Each structure stands twice: as structure tokens, then as C-alpha cells.
Structure 1
Amino acid sequence: MNIFTYIIIYLLICALIITFIPAVRNQWKDFIINPTSYSYKDKRLAIKIFISLLLIVMIIMFFILTPLLLPLLIKYDRKNRKREKTDIKDDNLYFWRMGGLGQIQCLNCSYQEEILSFIHGLNTSSTGLQCQSCGQFHSIKDWQDNKHLYCGCGGILEREMPVFCPECKSKKIQYNMSFIA
């Protein structure tokens, strides 16, 4: 269930509550069954009362149901995000599986390099990316996910792809973190 399903359920509950409030229901039923007994002003007043009560109950239900549904929505969102990341069942090393600043070592050719995965301060952050063509590692300050960046060689800098050795292009990499923030 996504957030729109919860909103629809919420609106249906509000509509049902309004429908079954006896004072409003009886007045509305009388108005529908015998509309000629009401003058034009009475009809407008009945409609205004009905809409006002509908809005009041919806606002009250919002304040009652929001604290009840919010933990469910947050739990659902976290569950989906975790599922996206954990569905990958390979042994490759990804930037999002690493943290901080550390050293990678290729298990095939013993290549070593100090790289930055992700560190942050109060108002700034630095993110590590790897060129998918030449394998060079880059550190970008205050990077945003929606920006596509390119290496000097013309390759795309990527964070979501597996980290590979710049020398032999092997994906058998080991990461030893030395600093985290």
C-alpha cells in the first residue's frame, strides 16, 4: 500500500463518520425527502451546515488519524528503501555499503588507494564517485543525486554501480574504513 491508499482510506473513514452523525443525517434526510418544505434560505443553510460539519469532522479526524498512520507510513517507507538496497545479493562493493574515508585494496592485483565514500559536517558533505570508464575516484563536495557528472576522460561518475579496481577492472575489492563522520 502506498501513501495514496492511506489517504483514500482516511477520506472514506471521514465520509462514513459524517454520514452517520445522527443530527446531520436526520436533517439531511428530511431535506432530501421533502425539499419543498424548506425555503431557499433554509436549503442554503442546510447545505452550509452539512459542508461545515464535514470539514470540521475531517479536520478532527486528520488530527486523530495522522499520529496513528504516520508511524505506519514511515515504517512502510523505510521497509521499501531497505528492500531496494538489500535485493542486491552480490558480493560487490558499493559506495552506499561503505562509509567515511578509507582505503580500498584489490584482491586480484593488490592495488591500493585511499578513497572517500561519504563524510559530512554541519553544513557540508563530501561524496565519493568513481568514473565508469577509467576507474578514477573523485570526491565531490555537496553533491546532489540528480546531477550527472563526468570525469576528465569523458566517463560518467557513478555512485550506485559496484566499485572496481582502476588497474585491473576487477570487482573483488576490500574496503578498510579509517574515518567516519
Structure 2
Amino acid sequence: MWKGKDIIDEEPKVKIMFFLVVPPLLPILFPVFFISDRISKRKETIRNREEEQKKNELKAKIGLRPDENYMCFSHMGGAGVIKCADCGYEEKITSFTHGSYSCTIGRQCPNCYAFVVEYNESEKYHCFGDAEEDFVCRKCGTIIRKKEEAISKGNDDPLFCPKCHSARLHYHMIYIT
């Protein structure tokens, strides 16, 4: 016997059940969906306010006004020039570049604020490998963090001027990869 016939025979029963059961439930279901949507929007608004408050607290801590933004390597790409708005310090930096077998990732030393580059070579394109050695600042010798932690975790730390330690930096990209 053909099994498709059973499905065809069941279809009118399903349609009848749907039209008998769903309409009486609409006055109950609509407010539930409406309220759950309002709750999720409210939670999102609260979450956005908390994130904005945290950002403003960080900005105040590093000496910026709420309308000013700070630079960080995770929001820049390629190579370019970073300039301090307070003292005029300029330096060519690499924030992130990649090639077919290697990557360069910009870092800032937490001790001397020097801009340094982490080189990573891999056998696979864009694969960061299992490097275990620490990344060391070339100017002061400070151990920044383990290499793969520096690569795999986004670095949203504010950048500071190596000369005057201001967070009022501007970045002009020269090239992007």
C-alpha cells in the first residue's frame, strides 16, 4: 500500500484541528508574545546602558570626556601612523597584517608604553599555532603575555602615548591587508 495516501488522508484532520484549536488560544498567545518581546527589548536596553556606563567609566579613568573615544589595536587594521593630540608624538605602527604564512600583530607594552610587533609564522594560512613562549617588549624586556593569549583574545585595551601617556591618539592608516 502506498504510504503517501496516509499523509493525504491526515492533512484535512490536521487543518481542522489547527483551525479549531488556534483561534481560541490567540487572546492568550498574543499577550505572551508581546510581553516576551518587550522584556527582551528591555533587557537589551539595560545591557546597552551598562556597557555605555562601563565605557564612560574607563574613559574618565584614562582622562577622556564621554564624547571622546580611545584607540585600541582591535579597532585598527593594517599599518599606519599614530599621533598624540596632546604632545604631537608620531610613530609608524603595525596594528595587524597578514600574509600567506605569517601575521604581525601590534601590541603596546604596559610598562614603557612602547609600540611593538608580535611576529607569528605558521604552516597554515591564518593559523596561529601552539606557541608557548612569552612575548617580550623589545625596549624594556617586560613580559606582556603568552603568545597565543595575545593572538586569540581581542585586545580592547586603550592605547597610550609613549611620550606623555595620553589616551588622545589618532590613527591614520597607510595600508590595510
Normalising by structure 2, we get a TM-score of 0.48
Compare CA radii of gyration and give the structure with the larger one: 1
Richer in strand (by share): 2
More helix by share: 1
When normalised by structure 1's length, the TM-score is 0.47
